[in-house]
Amino acid sequence: YGSTRPERILAEVKRKATRGDARSVVDTIDQYCRHQEWAMNVGDEKGTILDSIVCEVKPMAMLELGTYCGYSAVRIASLLPPNSRLITMEFNPVFAAIARQVIAWAGVEDKVVLIEGPSGDWIPKMKKEFGLTSFDLVFLDHWKDCYLPDTKLMEECGLLRTGSILVADNVICPGAPDYLEYVRGSPRYESKYFRSHLEYTRVEDGIEKSVFLG
Ligand SMILES: O=C(NC/C=C/[C@H]1O[C@@H](n2cnc(C(F)(F)F)c2)[C@H](O)[C@@H]1O)c1cc([N+](=O)[O-])cc(O)c1O
Ligand SMILES: [Mg+2]
């Protein structure tokens, strides 16, 4: 029986990355996915844009939708201020199990809370479950047709405050046209596009940064 791509990525991390060294985990995954087999991590080029926003915002409460193998969770967690938390949500239990091991190998498990299940179930109960008032920063990198409904649900559940920032991957490729139209057209958001490339390729893609104005 063959292994899955996430299992092969985890095996590469355990073989090549230094335990406890988040940067070496990130670099190992980037090397593997650039030279061995492509995978849908935000990647090194768009990852640098994400890093700059995380460092600028210094979020105390951050949410990621779409953990996959944990690449961006590790990347983000390595930049978080002390006492801040990244909550990362994953729908697929197989991917979640891999991501937990990647996050542990990187030594950032104290900064990351991985929750499993559909966003529609979790978003309405996050305030209570985690004693949250709102998220300072949200990274959307899950199913592209869920970006808009989940953003509206976060608004409705009071998880966004004036100044909360949404960062969305793949707004060009594969694309999230309804989300893009919403954040760019709504008076309640101030949106900015960061042009880049689809991870590990020369195809155009980009990240949209949108500030919620309340
Ligand atoms: O489809 C793409 N990403 C979809 C990513 C999907 C991932 O998000 C999880 N999820 C689903 N719902 C939730 C939550 F949190 F809501 F519960 C979490 C899924 O199980 C999966 O691991 C993609 C595709 C390409 N590409 O080039 O095709 C490039 C990319 O960067 C991509 O992100
Ligand atoms: Mg993506």
pLDDT (0 to 100) of residue 22: 98
User: Does 33 sit in the ligand 1 pocket, CB within 6 Å?
Assistant: no
Does residue 170 have an active-site annotation? yes
pLDDT in tens, 100-111: 999 999 999 999
Cα–Cα distance, 83 to 61 (Å, whole number): 9
pLDDT in tens, 139-170: 999 999 999 999 999 999 999 999 999 999 99
Cα torsion angle, 175, 178, 181, 182, sign: negative
User: Does 119 sit in the ligand 1 pocket, CB within 6 Å?
Assistant: yes
Tokens coding 162: 């004036």
Q: Is the pLDDT of residue 179 over 90?
A: yes
Cα–Cα distance, 167 to 153 (Å, whole number): 16
Strands 85-90 and 112-116: parallel
User: Does 205 sit in the ligand 1 pocket, CB within 6 Å?
Assistant: no
- pTM across the whole model: 0.98
Q: Is the pLDDT of residue 204 over 90?
A: yes
User: Does 142 sit in the ligand 1 pocket, CB within 6 Å?
Assistant: yes
Q: What percent of the chain has pLDDT over 70?
A: 99
pLDDT in tens, 40-94: 999 999 999 999 999 999 999 999 999 999 999 999 999 999 899 999 999 999 9
The gap between the terminal CA atoms of the chain, to the nearest Å, is: 51
User: Does 170 sit in the ligand 1 pocket, CB within 6 Å?
Assistant: yes
pLDDT (0 to 100) of residue 1: 56
Q: Which ligand is nearest to the CA of 168?
A: 2
The pLDDT mean for the chain works out to 97
Are 212 and 165 a contacting pair, CB within 8 Å?
yes
Which residue, by CA, sits nearest to atom 14 of ligand 1?
Answer: 119
Classify each residue of 10-30 as buried b or exposed e, where b means 16 or more C-beta atoms within 10 Å of its C-beta: bebbeeebeeeebebbbebbb
Which residue, by CA, sits nearest to atom 25 of ligand 1?
Answer: 40
Does residue 169 have an active-site annotation? yes
Q: What share of the chain is helix, strand, coil (3-state, %, to 5)?
A: 45, 25, 30
Who surrounds ion ligand 2 at CB < 5 A? 141, 169-170
Q: Is the pLDDT of residue 112 over 80?
A: yes
pLDDT (0 to 100) of residue 2: 65
